[in-house]
Chains A and B, each alone.
Chain A
């Protein structure tokens, strides 16, 4: 039903994520603390290769038991310096940190949700928090950053569906020939219609479960 994404690395239609190399989540350590404690805070650092700066449109990831997420970005400051800025503060990913809700969901953060501009970003830092002690690990997975502009306009249904042909004056047959461009668009529309009808027929349920009239089955397959 979803149809939006196949298996493999999830990607929207016609766009590719920015190349970047997130480091594995590092738990916060107390100085000199040898005990493997669970501090409830972890950090993922991300750099764009070769020091390139990137404009960020969308951040997509799959949660793994992180309850709150903050994001900081490194951007050019005044006088050529680089400044760290917080663009997202404690976004709630798990409404009730002790229970499963949201724990393995996919999330998508848009530019307009950010607290500051996210252009010319050279590095990013994801600060993950999990106040509940019941989870052994927490991180975020399949992290992808998408640049602006690439996003193909998502056409969910063809425009002719919502727009019937505008009412026109019947073309007068005397005197002039119909505008060839108009004829061609009309023919195109008819062609689209037949294509759609053909596609729809293929999608219709036939309700057959046999293959060429045969449904002799011996054993179930385990794969």
Chain B
């Protein structure tokens, strides 16, 4: 807790510090220097003239976008007395729970290494390097024997951990009381109720035009769509991240989505970014990691079996293998409750100068991880751009879906929000499902962990992710999960087992996301 003035100056200091090392900084400097020689720059008003030049030439906009992106990604600074772990996660028991969950993952990975007698990482022999380079664009044709590998964990295992999460300072009596939640999540986090959500998501209201809804009764939908496309083109022409973020709250026209998302995420795919991607690629070629096999296995188990995504198999390998080597991903651990696994170079155990992170990006993939990338393949065909968009989506959003934290977009809050919404709005349904042993969260958890990727039809999924980007929050996932239950409430009231309830909700590919969200948030009497 800081007074606003001091918080602001801390934020400014941080943004300045971060931008100083960026390539944007050197570009600005170069532009300013080149401009010094122009005749219209006067020595008397040097500073003002240069400022004017940067404004008119569009560089100021780029700087604005960079600042906006920093503000979106990094949490607002807390008190300077707060130690770094407090920034990662303010609640001590959550930090502890995340720590022991990580330890479990490490143990599982280590025992896999020992059982299969393979190292975590080693250099590829020269001939293998060459071979891999040759088939870089068709890695999917490779059929290595991965029967011995198993995913390190699946969403199901993670849910078990979240169910057992308790605050030691909370009255967790043996007897059920008003203090116990009826759902699976037992931590007393603050989640929003419908009036608060209505206010937050006001742009999704009934009398505001939405892409993804055909209310063609009186007004032809083209009316809104054409106007919306026109505005979208204007936003793109302005190259303003903040405007783009506001715009996508009403949905992106398909033709503009790729560019608008890139603008919001501040990804421009400059030559140096392409170079960086090539560097990652050569790192993949040089070293063979155990996580590569986990990635292969995951793609084969998930995306390759998906009607929409199997065509992107090769893209997925490229992006995910490069991702695992990207040390810039480590930066997100400053604001994530997770900590990257550590190891030592072979034979140098315990020597700090030989300590390394494993994998180099610090992220161990789990069952379904590749589904975070798959939908993006519809939007970006250039691997380096696809890669950057995915990395940015991961460090802004997706990491929160598989780490234990109290953040409002963290998976624990999402689970609790889902359970609370369902319980308040459909108490009978909630009670019924609970009584037959089909706790709703057991069904919806996997949807939320994957941000619905692989469950919804692609066009619907992209409309949903539009809103994630637009509101810079994952809370919409929990709202949608509750809305799906509400939509199927009549059928669910008739089931008598978990399996039957799962069957009712097995196929979400026919659902229309936006009408469901609208009805649940705005058309239900509360």
Contacts and interface: CB of A to CB of B under 8 A. Distances in A.
Nearest to A135: B169
Nearest to A38: B171
A19 interface: no
A215 B77 contact: no
Given A98-B188, A135-B169, A209-B360, A220 B79 contact: no
B81 A221 contact: no
A68 B501 CA distance: 45
Nearest to A164: B47
Contacts of B121: 215-217
B336 to A, nearest CB: 11
B356 interface: yes
Interface of B: 1-3, 9-10, 12-14, 16-17, 20-21, 43-47, 74, 77-84, 86-87, 90-92, 103, 106-107, 109-110, 113-114, 119-123, 167-171, 179, 187-190, 276, 279-280, 283, 287, 325-328, 334-335, 341-346, 349, 353-358, 360, 406
Given A104-B92, A156-B9, A205-B327, A2 B287 contact: no
A1 B168 CA distance: 29
Given A136-B169, A220-B106, A99 B344 contact: no
A179 interface: no
Contact of A156 (B13, B91, B170): B13
A96 B189 CA distance: 10
A134 interface: yes
Interface stretch (A4-12, A46-54, A82-90): A4-12
A200 B17 CA distance: 10
A108 B79 contact: yes
Interface of A is mostly: loop
Interface in A1-44: 1-2, 4-7, 10-12
Contacts of A2: 77, 80, 82-84, 87, 334
A215 B80 contact: no
Interface residues of A, number: 60
Interface in A179-223: 200, 203-205, 207-211, 214-223
Interface in A42-97: 60, 64-65, 93, 95-96
B50 to A, nearest CB: 9
| Chain A to chain B: the 10 pairs with minimum beta-carbon distance, closest first | A156-B13, A209-B360, A10-B81, A4-B80, A99-B190, A106-B79, A1-B334, A217-B121, A217-B120, A216-B346
Given A96-B190, A106-B82, A220-B110, 12 more contacts: A2-B84, A4-B82, A5-B80, A60-B81, A65-B169, A98-B188, A100-B187, A105-B79, A105-B90, A110-B3, A217-B344, A217-B345
Nearest to A221: B342
Nearest to B2: A108
Contacts of A142: 81
A107 B92 CA distance: 16
B44 A167 contact: yes
A133 interface: yes
A103 interface: yes
A60 B110 CA distance: 43
A11 B80 CA distance: 8
